Structure formats: C-alpha cells, structure tokens
A and B are shown apart, each in its own frame.
Chain A
Amino acid sequence: MILDAKIPEGPIEKKWTSFKNNAKLISPANKRKFKVIVVGTGLAGSSASATLAKLGYQVETFCFHDSARRAHSIAAQGGINAAKNYQNDGDSVWRLFYDTIKGGDFRAREANVYRLAEVSGTIIDECVSQGVPFAREYGGELTNRSFGGAQVSRTFYAKGQTGQQLLLGAYSALSAQIGLGRIKMHENSEMLDLVLVDGHAKGIVVRDLVTGEITTHAADTVLLCTGGYSNVYYLSTNARGSNVTATWRAYKRGAAFANPCYTQIHPTCIPVAGDYQSKLTLMSESLRNDGRVWVPKKQGDTRLPQEIPEEERDYYLERKYPSYGNLAPRDIASRSAKEVCDEGRGVGPGGLGVYLDFSAAIARLGEKTIRERYGNLFEMYQNITGESAYERPMRIYPAVHYTMGGLWVDYNLMSTIPGLHVLGEANFSDHGANRLGASALMQGLSDGYFVIPNTLGEYLSTQFGKKVSTDMPEFKKTEEEVRARVEKLLAVKGNVPVDEFHRQLGLIIWDECGMARSEEGLKKAITDIRALRERFWKEVAIPGTGKELNQSLERAGRVADFLEFGELMCIDALTREESCGGHFRIEHQTPEGEALRHDDKFAEVYAWMFQGEGSQPELVREPLHYEAVHLATRSYK
C-alpha cells in the first residue's frame, strides 16, 4: 500500500488557495442529497457538524456523552493560537507555521501545518462572531498572552477556560442547527464499529448507553472526531470517558493508524497520591516562572521539605540546564523529573513527585504578589491535596495529556478507508512528534470549520448514485459482530473490576512507553500487555445486563480496545529507533541526554495497517518532504 497524501502542487503559501480554487464542489441542490455521519462533539465534531449542516448537508451527529457540550475539549485551559499579529510583534502565518513544525520536532506534514497556520486567524473571527468572550483590553481590543515555543504573543484566551468557551461556541452553533432540524443529534450513543460497503465507510454501529439498544446508521461519508487516546495510560489529564474505541475499530476495519507512540507528557501536574486515584489534574505551566524545581540529594529522604537544608537539595533543572533553568521545555522537564524519581529521590507518596518551591519567590516578591499571580492555582492545589503551597512546596509530577498520533489522513482529512474522514486530535496530521501549547484548539476548529467543508467534496463528488441503506447485509453483519462482542464481554463473568485491568495497563504503558522508552522495556511491555489482555478476557467482572445503563460494560469495551491498542503503541515505539519530541528512546540520545533524531531514516510517518487478530500489523511509510523549511536540531541550551 502506498500512502498518497494528495498534497496540492505549488509553493507552500499557494497550496491551500490553489486547492480551494480547483476543489470539486457539490452544488447546493446536491448537498441536500448527501448524508454525513459525525462521531464526537468536541471542537472538531461540533464545528464540523454545524458547518456542514449550514452548507445544506444532512448531518447526523453522535456522542457518548449525555450532552454534546460535555466533550473533553471543554477542559482545555490555556488558549488558542492565531497568527493575527494584533500585537504587532512580528507574527505571521509563516512564523506560526514554522514554530509548529519546529515544535513538532520536524515530524509533521508541511502542507497541513501551513494550512493550519493560514486559517488560524479566521478561527478567531468565527469564534468572536459566535459570542466567545475572549479576554479584552480596557480599550475593548482582544488581548493575547505568550505561550511556550513561540517568541510572539499570539495566544487568545478566555480566563483559564478557553476550551470551554470555544466548545460552547461550537456547541451553540450545533444546537442552532439541531433546533432547525438540519442535524439529527444522538446523545448517549457510543460508536462501536464502522460499516464498510465495497471498501468504503458508509455507516456506523452504535450502542445506546441508556437502553443498551444496538443500531446501525448509514450515510455517504463518516467523520470521526473522537479525540485522543491518552487514557491508555489510565491516569491522564483526559476525562474518564475519553477512549480509543472509535479510531481503534476503524483501524481494525482497515484505517491506518499513524505514529501511535507520539504522546505528550505535561511536566506540571498534581502527582498521583494513591492507587484509588482516577485522574490527574494539570497545574498551569506558568507556575515554573516563579517556582524552583528540586528534590533531595539523598535517596529515600523522608524529611519534611522545610527540614532539608539548602545544601542537601538538588535543583536539578537549574543544574542541568543553566540557561533555561526551571523553564526548560516540557519534554526535558518531564524526563528530568522521571530520572530523579527513578533514582529514588522523588518526594511524596510513592516517591513519584518533585517539589516546585515558591519560598524564594515569596521571600523576593512577597506572598501578596504570588497570590495575585497564582492564587486560583494554589487554591485548586489546596482543594485537591489539602496542602498550602504558600507554606510548603507544591508537589508536581508529569502526566499524559495529549496524543499526537492518530488515524492517518491525507490532505483532505480522509483516512486510508475511502469515505472515512478523521478530524481533530483523532487524526495524526499537524503536530508531528510534539504539540505546542494552544495549538490543539486551533487544529480542532480548523479541521471542523474550515478544512472539511472544503475537502469533503473531493470524496462525495465520486459518490453520486451510490446510496446505501442499513438493510444491506454489510450493516447486518457488522451489527451482529458488535452484538457478539458485547455478549462475549458479558459472558466472561469474572470477579475483577474493569478499573483494575485499566490501572494495570496504565502502569505498564507508563513505565515502558512513557517519558523514556527502551527496546528491552518495550518488548517486556508487549509481553505484559498480551498476558493482561488474556487475563482480562477470563476475569473481568461486568455485573448487570447489556439492556440498560451499564457503566461497567461501557468501560470494559473501552479497556478491551486499549488493551489491544497499547500493544500497537509499543510496537510503534519499538520500531521508531530514534528520539523525537515526546518519543524518547534511551538508546538514542546525545551525550548530554537530549533527544537524538535520525532524519536520514525516520523523517517519515509510520502508519500501521491491521492484518487480522494475532498477526503483526503491517507498517506503511509516508516520507515527509521538507520543501519550505530545512531540518534542524532543537537546542535547549
């Protein structure tokens, strides 16, 4: 199989324009004849649904939440990038493009990233016209803040709730279309499989989470906007329900899964406090502006932080990266924290934590200033841990919060299955091996509002007269397969709760496919995951029936998929014999311990094709051609 990215010809600045000028259009009268299924209602799904419905397509939208507004995009805090250059600080589409490509450690597709930067400004216009209350100056102008990986202020924000406001904007646009009868909305509906007719994605199988009813739905094309897979780690900053099921089932129907090993680990989260813990909470990266990161020099030092004298503390970031210090980039900071904890010098319960100490800043600036800057974060920290960061250092630890990998898509956002489009975090396209802050919201909305409405015609224009219906045998067969899978889960009748398996899987992946990966560890992880999967299918306990709201059953289905997906992630990490961005193979580092890329061999996308249960997946490569930028080493010193 050859992966054709369908990148338009011409110089990078002209590609999107020339694409739009030559794109196949569907006339208004014909749009009404085409039906589009959208799965997921995060930024990508809501914005795509609303926009396609406004254009006149028949849209059916599905989400597993009880309301479209609850998708996890809502939890994004920081902001959204856009090359508006309102600050007149030298920003441009080119700079946003270059920062994103460089931030992704030169593992993203140039044309896609340029398009993202190009439409970024329109996203802000769109959101403002929907009533998104972005932060403003006293004069009424939009204000910006700076974010990591950029030397300009281009991030628009709404308090610490930017994701919420952007999602509610998209949700209100979606709601308006539902109210007009142009979108049929299915809440509490979890997609459990993709239906292929003659090799084309033509429908989905859905389980109603309230009634347990399994139904099939047919359309001319399917859009997956189902987010990332961070929850393969069990503990992440993702919502409890976020899962890989939709993309994984699509993979098993023939969609290539690209770069699954690219995950982003955020350095400043509240650490795990015990094995009861269900989720991790992010603390804004801005805290590192005034906090000093340290651990005791001695292993297993159980003294209280204030009892440890200055000379027995190791301010390891300041020591190792004198120029960046505590503001070392995310991946460096995360990896260094892991190293000191692995040495047995971590603090707090389980020894998985490092101190983020504000005492020097409080002494220098006064508690009042610190309270003004970080009051809400300190409050949040105290609510969760019961400790006051004014009195003793915060304990922080890295946590997974975004996955750059996803289903492979071409320039039109179509996967290797004709008719299956993938948007937002669910696809792999724009962030390479590492995502810059405030770029996830930009990509979700860019895909939904501006890319898919223009690219969908490329596929649909080939589908005139090819109507499908749920009466076709393909639908019946897939529905039966889903039913059998649900029955199989219910038939296990073990006595181990689903969470137990999920937690164990998370530990394996975190240890071996987290911040630092090795050949030996990854091989061990693959063996362990297989053993765990076997145990799961023998011992999982799912009380109740499949004909009602059954949260154990929902989770079991998702964990079963994570148990398969985790293996693919490790295979990908094992195959990528280099370090880049969030993927750090300990065998491939510079003498100073920095990521060492091998551009000669790995400047390409690794896409995996399912070859049947128990068979090794097939690796297909898409070479990444850098025409506009030249590959360079990121330096943090």
Chain B
Amino acid sequence: MSTMNFHLRLWKQKSAADKGEFIKIHATEIPSECSFLEMLDIVNNRLTREGKEPVSFASDCREGICGTCHMVINGVPQGPGRGAACQVYMRKFENGQTITVEPFRVGAFPIVKDLVVNRSAYDRIIRSGGFISEHTGGAPDASTTLIPKPVADAAMDAAACIGCGACAAACPNSSPMLFVGAKVTHLGLLPQGQAERKSRARNMVRTMQEEGFGNCSNYYACEAVCPANVPASVIAMLNREYIRGEVSESVGAID
C-alpha cells in the first residue's frame, strides 16, 4: 500500500466566543486507502502522542447515513464527491496537495469547538411541524391506504435527507430550504400527512426564520452538495405549500 503526504490547514477554535485560526500540519505517510476522517484520526493520534490537543470533529456511523460528520473540505461542504465527509477517500486527492478544512459557516450553527458546530436549529425546525401527529397503537391497518409507487418513491427521495446541514453550509445565503423542503415534501406527498399539511409548512418556515437562517435565492448550491441527493424541486414544493398555508390562515379559509 502506498502512502501520501498532505499539507493540512485545519481550523482550531476553542469555543464560539473565541477567535479561531488555521493550524498548519504536514501530514506525512498517510495510507492512500484511508478515508478522510481516518486521515484526521491519524493526525489527531499523532498530535496526542506529542502532548498536543487534537482537532475536534464530529463523526459517528462513518457510512454516510447518520449525518453526524460535517466539515468543509477545500470549500465544499462534506467534501468532494457525493456522500457525507466520511465517504471521502484520500486517493481522491493529489499527493502533496494542500487541503483546507473549515467548519460550516452558518450563523444559525454556532461553533462548538474546532470543526464541530451546533446544528440543533434543525431539530427545532422539525419540532415545530416536521411530523404527523398520531396516537401510538391507534393506526388503521397499513394496507387500507394505497399509495401509488411514484408518490411513495418521491416521498422516499425527499425523506432520504440525513439532516447534516450541508445545504445551509453550501448556500451563499445560509438557507436551509432544502432541508425544510425535504420534510415538507416527504410528509406533504403522503395521504397520512394531509391533515397538518398547511400548518406544517407555515410553522416550519417560521421557525426557520426565527433561527436566523438566510433565504433561498435559487442558487442550487444545496442540491450540488447534498449527500442524500435530495432534489431542489422540494424547495418549489415548500414554496407552494407555505403560501397555501399562509394565505389560508390569513384569510381564515378552512380548506
């Protein structure tokens, strides 16, 4: 197995209140087969052996589904190629290349430490409407409602969102509308989601605004980086659903 060398610029920042800076590390003898996060593990273990503090970064499943890992590699949230940062492999880089790793730069995602940011704003958006209310155990038999395959498939494509925050990180406006649109589309397409359809879009958009995110300018940078391939058409659906919900409420329409 061959090894590679890299010039790393890694963001260090003690807390949200501190001013951060890049530290430069010459990472040598990195196995070419390892993943980007494994490369960071190696670097961190070397720092630890030297008695220095490692660079904090978040990761968990390391198979691209949990959405824990989040970082910007050479200007690309979640790094080059499809998938989350844990799915980036070092052989995609040139030997000797300089690699800059920064945290997500989104005002609504304050920095926790180094490359780790606080994405709880996404949880609060879901809490304000990203669900279908039902009583556990009170559901009718699953076969009673037929859902055409194209509808179920489109709902699944939207539901595939891993909630990683890359959409807001990539958007020049820090807008999370791909994330919000994905949930509104997933639940809005399904028959079970109809009862709360209007209030869902309205409440989620309001929370999104209160959290201090930016607004969609139809740049589609979100779609270009989304590890789950959520299409930007979910934002069109969100735009439609929101206006429907807001207008109904404004004019007092029941339906």
Contact = CB atoms under 8 A, between A and B. Distances in A.
Contact of A122 (B58, B113, B137, B193): B137
Interface string A159-174: 1010011001001110
Interface stretch (A274-282, A321-329, A482-490): A274-282
Contacts of B218: none
B4 interface: no
B66 A72 contact: yes
Contact of A548 (B15, B65, B89, B126): B15
B240 interface: no
Given A65-B60, A74-B66, A131-B187, A187 B135 contact: no
A158 B60 contact: no
B56 A274 contact: no
Given A129-B192, A551-B56, A139 B146 contact: yes
Nearest to B203: A179
B194 to A, nearest CB: 11
Contacts of B205: none
Interface stretch (A295-303, A308-316, A380-388, A581-589): A380-388
Contact of B132 (A131, A273, A279): A131
B17 to A, nearest CB: 12
Nearest to A127: B142
A241 interface: yes
Contact of A68 (B37, B123, B139): B123
A241 B60 contact: yes
Nearest to A76: B65
Interface stretch (B71-79, B98-106, B151-159): B151-159
Interface in A133-165: 133-142, 158-159, 161, 164-165
A66 B68 contact: yes
- Counting chain B CB atoms within 10 Å of each CB, the highest count among A47, A176, A185, A281 belongs to A176
Interface in B148-186: 148-149, 152-153, 155-156, 159-160, 162-163, 186
- Counting chain B CB atoms within 10 Å of each CB, the highest count among A50, A133, A277 belongs to A133
Interface in A311-349: 349
A323 B77 CA distance: 50
A384 B127 CA distance: 36
B68 A65 contact: yes
Contacts of A273: 1, 31, 33-34
Nearest to A72: B61
A160 to B, nearest CB: 10
Interface residues of B, number: 80
Interface in A60-94: 65-72, 74-75, 84, 86
B190 interface: yes
Interface stretch (B44-52, B219-227, B231-239, B246-254): B44-52
B119 interface: yes
B158 to A, nearest CB: 9
A74 B128 CA distance: 22
Interface stretch (A106-114, A494-502, A563-571, A611-619): A494-502
A126 interface: yes
Determine chain B's interface SS by DSSP, over half rule.
loop
A128 interface: yes
B156 A133 contact: yes
A386 B118 contact: no
Interface in B7-58: 14-15, 31, 33-35, 37-38, 41-42, 44-45, 47-49, 51-54, 56, 58
B217 interface: no
Contacts of A274: 1, 31, 33-34
B91 interface: yes
Contacts of B65: 74-75, 161, 164
Contact of B192 (A130, A139, A187, A239): A130
B59 interface: yes
A3 interface: no
B130 interface: yes
Nearest to B49: A495
Contacts of A34: none
Nearest to B39: A276
Nearest to A545: B53
B112 interface: yes
A240 B59 contact: yes
Given A69-B67, A386-B89, A278 B37 contact: yes
A134 B34 CA distance: 35
Contacts of B148: 136, 138, 140
Contacts of B67: 67, 69-70
- Counting chain B CB atoms within 10 Å of each CB, the highest count among A71, A86, A164 belongs to A164
Contacts of B143: 84, 86, 141-142
Contacts of A140: 146-149, 152
A178 B146 CA distance: 31
B152 A549 contact: no
Given A136-B152, A276-B38, A552-B54, A54 B61 contact: no
A429 interface: no
B189 to A, nearest CB: 9
A495 B51 contact: yes
Contacts of A173: 131, 134, 136
A239 B61 contact: yes
A21 B163 CA distance: 42
Nearest to A448: B136
Interface in A532-573: 541, 543-544, 548-549, 551-552
Contacts of B37: 278
Contacts of A552: 48, 54
Given A161-B65, A241-B60, A549-B112, A126 B136 contact: yes
B128 A70 contact: no
A449 interface: yes
A386 B33 contact: yes
B192 A128 contact: yes
Given A84-B143, A136-B147, A496-B49, 18 more contacts: A67-B67, A75-B61, A75-B65, A129-B134, A129-B139, A130-B134, A130-B192, A131-B192, A133-B153, A136-B148, A159-B156, A172-B132, A175-B123, A179-B127, A239-B62, A273-B1, A276-B42, A279-B62
21 contacts: A70-B60, A70-B68, A71-B66, A75-B66, A86-B143, A126-B136, A131-B187, A131-B193, A133-B153, A133-B159, A142-B143, A158-B156, A187-B120, A273-B31, A274-B33, A278-B38, A349-B1, A450-B137, A500-B45, A541-B48, A544-B53
- 9 pairs of A and B residues whose beta carbons are closest in the complex: A140-B146, A179-B127, A172-B131, A129-B139, A125-B139, A128-B142, A133-B156, A497-B45, A239-B60
